[in-house]
């Protein structure tokens, strides 16, 4: 094994040197071999996130719509705004960008209300499970954007992402319906000071059997691998006709859910949590700013309202310090 790799983190008037033990990347291909081999040579564990993970991507150009767009029409805006309408009193227009290969998209501009966005009509069936995705960008700053389906029975949120200016972020989610009915897709953001740009939209229905089959295929692809075992004795000689028993001790796949501090004082809760094969958790409220930094509650609230003001204690962290970390 080669020499270890260290990272110098500068902050608070001193430099902290940490050994890089783990690097995480997506599965888009940029960090496959020989990068993975290089990590192995230096004793670095190379982990990969889920492909198309909306929270980990911001690309110069959106990817193709999933499932060819499914039942959505004109998903890559090749036919102008055909199939798209302005949601209520929104203002939308068709655009072609010149800086990323003449990419076509639809823009909601002069927004004064949260729901001002492009819209498309669908008929959603009760016995179907729908997976939804879209690539979003804003004209300035950043904004949290929901995908919502409005129907006679109510408003159905299908996903959320934080879109940025200068790159495309993927919103990925889904929904199911209690009744079969018509629905209007639209996008919503409380930040009305920016335009919403939309591209590569997909809405794909699945039957329950198709959904379960898709899950099984994903498990086979993402969570399983081929393993070859070679049994030898203390002298290294192969053992023939030997019975072995294999059981899972520590799963490598991280699977968990949010919890609260109640788990620390409740042994039954802890035992239940562990019995469900959860390997990771996070304290969903106790780790938020209003709990850990109560004097910055105002800044936290402004972030929720789409007007972020980064407190000084956060601004001192550089991008290197925020996104690169090592495990002790």
Q: Give me the CATH number covering residue 135.
A: 2.60.120.260
Please report, rounded to a whole number, the percentage of residues in the chain having pLDDT higher than 70.
73
d(Cα 29, Cα 26) in Å, to the nearest integer?
8
Q: Does 327 have pLDDT greater than 50? A: no
Split into its structural domains, the chain has a count of 1
- The boundaries of the domain holding residue 107 are 55-210
Q: Does 137 have pLDDT greater than 90? A: yes
Model pLDDT, residue 321: 37
> Could you tell me whether strands 256-259 and 280-283 are parallel, antiparallel, or unpaired per DSSP bridges?
parallel
Looking at the domain assignment, is residue 18 inside a domain?
no
Looking at the domain assignment, is residue 86 inside a domain?
yes
Looking at the domain assignment, is residue 41 inside a domain?
no
Average pLDDT over residues 32-55: 62
d(Cα 106, Cα 271) in Å, to the nearest integer?
50
Global confidence as pTM: 0.60
Looking at the domain assignment, is residue 121 inside a domain?
yes
Band (pLDDT 50/70/90 cuts) for residue 36 is low
Cβ distance 163 to 136 under 8 Å? yes
Residue 188 φ then ψ, to 5° = -135, 135
Band (pLDDT 50/70/90 cuts) for residue 294 is low
Looking at the domain assignment, is residue 185 inside a domain?
yes
Rounded-to-10 torsion of CA 284, 324, 167, 56:
-40
Looking at the domain assignment, is residue 266 inside a domain?
no
Looking at the domain assignment, is residue 82 inside a domain?
yes
């Amino acid at each position: 094994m080669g020499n270890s790799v260290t990272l110098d983190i500068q902050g608070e008037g001193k430099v902290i040197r940490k050994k890089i033990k783990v690097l995480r990347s997506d599965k888009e291909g940029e960090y496959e071999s020989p990068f993975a081999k290089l990590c192995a040579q230096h004793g670095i564990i190379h982990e990969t996130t889920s492909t198309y993970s909306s929270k980990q991507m911001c690309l110069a150009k959106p990817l193709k719509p999933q499932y060819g767009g499914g039942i959505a029409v004109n998903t890559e805006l090749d036919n102008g705004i055909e199939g798209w309408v302005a949601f209520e009193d929104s203002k939308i227009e068709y655009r072609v960008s010149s800086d990323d290969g003449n990419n076509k998209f639809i823009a909601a501009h002069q927004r004064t209300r949260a729901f001002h966005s492009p819209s498309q009509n669908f008929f959603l069936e009760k016995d179907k499970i729908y997976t939804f995705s879209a690539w979003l960008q804003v004209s300035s700053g950043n904004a949290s954007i929901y995908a919502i389906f409005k129907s006679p029975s109510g408003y159905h949120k299908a996903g959320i992402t934080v879109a940025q200016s200068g790159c495309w972020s993927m919103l990925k989610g889904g929904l199911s319906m209690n009744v079969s009915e018509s629905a209007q897709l639209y996008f919503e953001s409380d930040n009305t000071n920016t335009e919403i740009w939309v591209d590569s939209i997909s809405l794909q229905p699945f039957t329950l059997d198709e959904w379960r089959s898709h899950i099984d295929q994903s498990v086979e692809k993402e969570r399983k691998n081929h393993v070859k075992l070679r049994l030898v004795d203390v002298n290294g000689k192969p053992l023939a006709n030997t019975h072995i028993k294999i059981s899972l001790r520590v799963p490598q796949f991280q699977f968990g859910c949010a919890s609260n501090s109640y788990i620390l004082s409740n042994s039954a809760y802890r035992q239940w949590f562990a019995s469900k094969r959860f390997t990771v958790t996070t304290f969903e409220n106790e780790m938020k700013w209003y709990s850990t930094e109560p004097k910055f509650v105002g800044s936290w609230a402004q972030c929720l309202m789409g007007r972020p003001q980064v407190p000084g204690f956060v601004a001192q962290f550089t991008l290197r310090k925020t996104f690169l970390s090592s495990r002790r």
